[in-house]
Amino acid sequence: MNVHASQQLVNDPAIDVSGLVRRYGDIVAVRGIDLAVARGEIHGFLGPNGAGKTTVVRILCTLLRPTEGEVRVAGFDVVRDAGRVRLRIGAALQEAALDPVQTGRELLELQARLFALPRAIARRRVGELAELVDLGDALDRRVKTYSGGMRRRLDLALALIHEPAILFLDEPTTGLDPASRRQVWNEVRRLNEERGVTIFLTTQYLEEADQLAHRLSVIAGGEIVAAGSPEELKRGIGRDVVVARVEGRVEAAQRAVAGLRDVGRVERSGSELTLAVTDGPAAVVGVATALAALDGLTVREISVRRPSLDDVFLHVTGERIRSDAEGTAGDDAGTENEGIAA
């Protein structure tokens, strides 16, 4: 490989996708997406279940072929140069992709051997990773004795054995308790900051995306519906958000508040109205008055807060992402609310 070519590789994005389409028979799972992830970036890939998230990740990891489009990872085409891509990526894709009867150390050593790491390097890597993911004595216990969090951390260590430049994490904290979740977050940050690893992370947890990702893409219905930094995306919604929880004639309420001055978009999710406004405290009085004037409507709560990624999600996909586990993930998300009892 000549100097010019290596130079080009350095300047290439870590992930470069253009016009990616994936069909399963007649079903179109991914409908022509473009995506660029810079080297050293933590990229959050958000989407509801069935949006095409996993399909995209599997294509990026060479486990699935694109039907159409160009996909380059670490500078190589995922179809023509799949072998080279695999040497440069690490992936923790599924919840329990481990062998329960082997010990953590045995699995790490096995992985090192399959990547043909020389013995001395393999030993050093296993030591480093054991420390990084903090498995301690458990390293020599069989995996079936591990907790969910320990499995996930071993999974991460396995994905890192060959020092990949790009790491794919598919819902790395789903099913973990808040403490384990934070531990995984810290490891992800450290890998990114200390080792410069590019990280492509899918998640359903908005707080996770907010905390970790430098940039985000939101996929819905097989298309990228929003992209940018978490801040940019939230700013796109408005400066403040007024949330009104009502009972009764919700549609009439939606029409009433939509006509108010200073109120931008109004999204409805069940009996909850989310209003994008320029000045929350100023707008809330008008909103309360308008709602109070409506017959057959009970106002349960009105609150003002900063826009969240959940608002972004609602705006671009028309649905709230909140999954069952989001309650524990967003355990400190509620502190921003300035509730106004109605």
Partner 1 sequence: MSASVSTSTGDVGSTGTRPGMGPAARSRKGFALDLATVARRSLRGALREPEAVIPALVIPVFFFLVNVGALEKVAEAGGGLDYRAFQLPVAVIFAVTGVSRANALVADIATGYFERLLLTPVNRLALLLGLMVADFALVVALCLPVLVLGAVAGVTFVTGLPGLLAFVLLAGAWGVAFTGLPYTIALRTGNPAAVAASFVLFFPFAFLTTAFVPAEALSGWLAQVARFNPVTYVLAALRALVSDGWNAPVLAQGVVATAMVATLSIGLALLALQRRVRTP
CB of 45 to partner 1, least distance (A): 18
Collapsed DSSP state (helix, strand, coil) of residue 9 = helix
Q: Does 87 contact partner 1 by CB under 8 A? A: yes
Least spacing, CB of residue 78 vs partner 1, in Å = 9
Neighbours of 222 (CB within 10 A): 23
Q: Is 106 in the site for partner 1 (CB under 8 A)?
A: yes
Pick from 60, 61, 277, 284: which binds partner 1 (CB under 8 A)? Answer: 61
Q: Using the minimum distance from each CB to partner 1, give the nearer residue, 188 or 218.
A: 188
84 lies in the binding site for partner 1 (CB under 8 A): yes
Instruction: Go through the chain and tell me how many residues it has.
Output: 342
Could you tell me which stretch among 27-35, 104-112, 256-264, 306-314 binds partner 1 (CB under 8 A)? 104-112
Write out the binding residues for partner 1, residues 112-131 only, by CB under 8 A.
113-119
Rg for the chain, CA atoms, rounded: 23
Residue 142 binding partner 1, by CB under 8 A: yes
User: Closest distance between partner 1 and the C-beta of residue 150, in Å?
Assistant: 16
- C-beta separation of 55 from 29 below 8 A: yes
Q: Phi and psi for 61 in degrees, rounded to 5?
A: -90, 10
Task: Write down the least CB distance from residue 151 to partner 1, Å.
Answer: 11
Q: Tell the burial category of 193 from Cβ atoms under 10 Å away from its Cβ (0-12, 13-18, 19+).
A: exposed
Count the alpha carbons within 13 Å of 166 in the hemisphere toward its beta carbon: 26
Contact set for partner 1, span 183-212 (CB under 8 A): 195-197
How far lies 58's CA from each of 71, 94, 197, 202, 229, in Å? 12, 11, 19, 11, 24
Decide if residue 108 touches partner 1 (CB under 8 A).
no
Exposed, middle or buried, 40 (CB in 10 Å: 0-12/13-18/19+)?
middle
Give least dist CB 184 to partner 1, A.
18
Residue 67 in the binding site for partner 1 (CB under 8 A):
no
Nearest CB to partner 1, comparing residues 120 and 293: 120
Residues 219-278 that bind partner 1 (CB under 8 A): none
Map tokens 């990526």 to a residue.
89
Contact pick of 19, 65, 229, 298 for partner 1 (by CB under 8 A): 65
Query: Is 289 one of the binding residues for partner 1 (CB under 8 A)?
Result: no
* Options 63-71, 256-264, 287-295, 324-332: segment touching partner 1 (CB under 8 A): 63-71
- What is the C-alpha separation between 13 and 151, in angstroms, rounded? 31
> Burial level of 203, CB count in 10 A (0-12/13-18/19+)?
buried
Number of residues that bind partner 1 (CB under 8 A): 47
Starting at the edge strand that comes first in sequence, how are the strands of the sheet with 76-77 ordered?
27-37, 15-24, 68-73, 76-77
Question: Where along the sequence are the contacts to partner 1 (CB under 8 A)?
Answer: 1, 6, 9-10, 39, 61-65, 74, 79, 82-84, 86-89, 91, 93-94, 96-99, 101-102, 106, 110-111, 113-119, 142, 158, 162-165, 195-197
